[in-house]
Amino acid sequence: MSSLLNQLHSLRAQAQQDIAQADSLEGLETLRVRYLGRKDGQLTKILQALPSLSPEEKKVLGREANEAKISLETALNEKKGAIEEKTLNAVLSAAAGQDLTLPESPLSVGRRHPLAQVMDDIVGCFLRLGFNLAEGPEVETDFNNFTALNHPPDHPARDSHDTFYVKNFRDGEGLPLLLRTHTSPVQIRHMQTHKPPLSIVAPGRVFRHEAVDATHSFVFHQVEGLAVDVDISVADLKGVLGLFARHVFGSNVEIRFRPAYFPFVEPGIEVDISCTLCEGKGCRVCKQTGWVEMLGAGMVNPNVFRAVGYDPDKVTGYAFGIGVERVAMFKYGVDDMRLFFENDVRFLRQVSR
């Protein structure tokens, strides 16, 4: 019996000491289980000896055990409170010296790339005029990119396109596949699969094997337009392009047509818009002419209609190809195209909404 009482006393002393040294809530819980746990707690183990004791001994050991239990529970609770208070104080003192009334650091919101915005703007303008969206692949056949667009195999205009050829892959005629040099092959694809009347816009990336400088890049973007019907005229083309120019550059701009050569249109036209930076007076950007070259256009060459199985005696059409980077540079007054590809956020923030 006295050895049980001794055990109880030393258990109580040891437990008090452990509790006093505990410094976390998890540590305290471990101690509670170790000493007071219902199943395997050390106090429970001592009390398991009770049935073998005399009634007098039971009374003494029972009372002492109960006292020990209560005092350890009290010690655990007090220590718990102390640890919680210490944690709270640590949080509060970490916050001290911080001004909770300061505004939070600004969240910067992402936005679409300026080229994507300009492209959407151009395409959106034509969709509202009733054009449909058409798309084509970036790897094209020689036929769609050149032959059907009235560039026969030995035609010198092919050279002006600085084509990237896709190695070892050839189309059904044994001609090499290539990265499209313009979006005009989408015209061919669309006419092969649709009957007139039709009007489409085809935005996309195009590739040319050119050295990169302020106004050239080996990859850039175009928006192609095509309309075919029974009596489409140059006047329709001029009307539509005038609407486009005023939509993108503002209601004061004017457009002008100059003759140009593209094999797939006749007549071929280069379209200038009046310089919005100097309002036509002449400046660095328009090279003192008051006009800026903006796109290529023209009336679809009968040979193109023949290549897709249309009857050139029955239908006419116009086509145009807008250089997206050129529009973006002029719109934002940027004189180096590379800025649009380098993606320095300081630049992107300046030019995008």
Candidate segments 62-70, 137-145, 249-257, 290-298, binder of ligand PHE by CB under 6 A:
290-298
Residue with smaller CB distance to ligand PHE, 269 or 275: 269
179 sits in the region (left: phi over 0; alpha: psi -120 to 50; else beta) called beta
| Residue 352: CB minimum distance to ligand PHE, A | 26
Which of these ranges, 191-199, 240-248, 250-258, 294-302, lies near ligand PHE under the rule CB under 6 A? 294-302
Smallest distance, ligand PHE to C-beta of residue 296, A: 3
Q: Choose between 275 and 322: whose C-beta lies nearer to ligand PHE.
A: 322
Q: How many residues bind ligand PHE (CB under 6 A)?
A: 10
Q: How many Cβ atoms sit within 10 Å of the Cβ of residue 78?
A: 12
Q: Which two tokens stand for residue 339?
A: 């800025």
Is position 203 an interface residue for ligand PHE (rule: CB under 6 A)? Answer: no
Sheet architecture: strand order including 265-274: 132-133, 198-207, 219-229, 316-323, 291-300, 265-274, 255-260
Which residues face 280 on adjacent strands?
none
Backbone torsions φ then ψ of 67, nearest 5 degrees? -60, -45
| Residue choice 12, 158, 180, 182 for contact with ligand PHE (CB under 6 A) | 182
**Contact at 8 Å (CB) between 317 and 349?**
no
- Cβ of residue 101: shortest distance to ligand PHE, in angstroms? 59
Interface with ligand PHE in residues 17-36 (CB under 6 A): none
Q: How far is CA 25 from CA 15, 28, 147, 294, in A?
A: 16, 5, 81, 73
> Is 209 within 8 Å of 164 (Cβ atoms)?
yes
Binding flag, residue 297, ligand PHE (CB under 6 A): yes
Locus of tokens 């120019």:
245
Residues 331 and 303 sit within 8 Å (Cβ to Cβ):
no
Coil, strand or helix at 188: helix
- Binding range to ligand PHE, per CB under 6 A, among 98-106, 273-281, 316-324, 325-333: 316-324
Of the candidates 20, 83, 13, 1, the residue with the CA atom closest to the CA atom of residue 42: 13
Place of tokens 């911080």: 98
Q: Is 262 in the site for ligand PHE (CB under 6 A)?
A: yes
**Is 262 or 291 the residue whose CB approaches ligand PHE more closely?**
262
The reply to whether 220 sits near ligand PHE by the rule CB under 6 A is: no
Q: Of the candidates 296, 304, 317, 325, which one interacts with ligand PHE according to CB under 6 A?
A: 296
Q: Does 207 bind ligand PHE (CB under 6 A)?
A: no
x/- contact string, 126-165, with ligand PHE (CB under 6 A)? ----------------------------------------
Does residue 184 touch ligand PHE according to CB under 6 A? Answer: yes
In the bound state with ligand PHE, the residue whose beta carbon lies nearer, of 114 and 298, is 298
Helical axes 2-21 vs 55-95, angle rounded to 10°: 0
Interaction between residue 319 and ligand PHE (CB under 6 A): yes
The residue within the footprint of ligand PHE, chosen from 198, 202, 248, 265 (CB under 6 A), is 265
Which one of residues 131, 220, 249, 320 is an interface residue with ligand PHE (CB under 6 A)? 320
3-state DSSP assignment of residue 272: strand
For 62, the token pair is: 């029972």
Give dist(CA 141, CA 172) in Å, integer: 9
Interaction site with ligand PHE (CB under 6 A): 182, 184, 262, 265, 296-298, 319-321
